[in-house]
Structure 1
C-alpha cells in the first residue's frame, strides 16, 4: 500500500518536472527565434 502511493507521488513529481522543463525549453526557443530575427 505505502509503496504504491510513493511510486504514484514519484511519477507525479517527475511528470511535473518534465512539464516545467518543457515550458522552459519552449520559452528559450521563442527567445532564440526572436533573437534570430
Structure 2
C-alpha cells in the first residue's frame, strides 16, 4: 500500500471518497455484467 502526500487533509479525504465511489461502481458493474 502506497501512502501519498497531500498538501491538506481535505484533498486527502476527497481522494479517498473518489476512490471509494469508483470501487463501488466498478464492483456493481462487474457483478451486474457477470451475473
Above 0.5 in TM-score?
Answer: yes
Which bin holds the TM-score, normalised by the shorter protein? 0.7 to 0.9
Q: Which runs of 4+ in 1 moved over 4 A?
A: none
Report how many aligned residue pairs link the two structures: 29
- Which runs of 5 or more structure 1 residues have no equivalent in the other structure? 32-37
- Which runs of 5 or more structure 2 residues have no equivalent in the other structure? 1-6
Q: RMSD of aligned C-alpha atoms?
A: 1.3
| Larger relative contact order, structure 1 or 2 (CA cutoff 8 Å, min sep 6) | 2
Greater Rg, structure 1 or structure 2? 1
